[in-house]
Amino acid sequence: MALMAAAGEITPMPSYAIFADTHAEPESVYRWLDWLEKQLPYPVLRVSKGNLTEMALRIREKKDGTGRWAKSVIPAYVKNPNGTRGIIQRQCTYDYKVVPLTRTALKLMKQHAKKSVVQWIGISLDEAHRMKPSRDKRIENRWPLIDARMKRYQCLQWMEKRGMPKPPRSACVYCPYHSDAEWRRLKTEEPDAFAAAVKFDEDYRRVKQETNNMHGVPYLHNSLIPLREVDFSTDTDNGQQILFGNECEGMCGV
């Protein structure tokens, strides 16, 4: 979206691009951002509420002295004492992405003596379910890629035709919403990022064991076992033949 705007294919030309940094993304994302900044005729503002990892692992003392607690904002899977499973409510996206972006947009609005701002969001057509109106009446959300009826693979094709590098997926290294394919990609292609996720997985359980505001045991993977022990290999990796590769048109999952 940012590059299409720079090429004049999406108008009007943006005044700014804003990146909300959780300080927990793979190094490939920051390298990509460094490259992107050099391609755009408008500035990229990097904003942050703080370090999400440090916040999630910080143990706090209750004011009344009755115990210790830690914020539960990462949507980890939980194994409850009675054998049931659950998931922690996700708060990280709103606190560390939406809030910094909104505050920066409103700050820029005042700085330029405007009464409202149009905020572009780079959601593609296959993610249309993520479209949501702004919570602030001074901000109007717009989704240029959806207006252009572009899906993710078409965005990648647009970039490939222009000789641009393939962008990495922007997400925290330890996001519990990773698919097995993404965990496998991290483990194979970005081992440092995967190692950081494994460490967070272990540290997060330790922190919860040292506090008294959660009775269950949290895990990053939905199998409810430590990330270090999860087998991410595919059936093909384990010797299973691909029987229908030449016949199936790949429409079953659409």
**Rounded Cα–Cα distance for residues 124 and 140 (Å):** 18
SS3 202: helix
Query: What torsion do the CA atoms of 52, 15, 142, 109 make, to the nearest 10 degrees?
Result: 80
- Mean pLDDT of the chain, nearest integer: 90
- pLDDT of res. 209: 86
> Quick check: 97 pLDDT over 60?
yes
Look at residue 252 in the predicted model and tell me its pLDDT: 37
pLDDT in tens, 19-70: 999 999 999 999 999 999 999 999 999 999 999 999 999 999 888 878 888 8
Least confident of 16-25, 141-150, 196-205, 227-236: 227-236
Residue 19 has φ and ψ, to the nearest 5°, of: -115, 120
Q: Does residue 137 surpass a pLDDT of 70?
A: yes
Residues 216 and 81: their CA atoms lie apart, in Å, by 6
Strands 85-87 and 77-79, sheet pairing: antiparallel
Q: What per-residue confidence (pLDDT) applies to 70?
A: 87
Q: Which long-range contacts does 139-146 make (Cβ < 8 Å, 24+ apart)? A: 139/102, 139/105, 139/106, 140/116, 142/118, 144/1, 144/4, 144/5, 144/10, 144/120, 145/1
Residue 18: closest CA among 151, 128, 109, 115: 109
Beta-carbon contacts of 116 under 8 Å, excluding residues fewer than 6 positions away, are 109, 138, 139, 140
How many Å separate Cα 189 from the centre of its chain?
Answer: 18
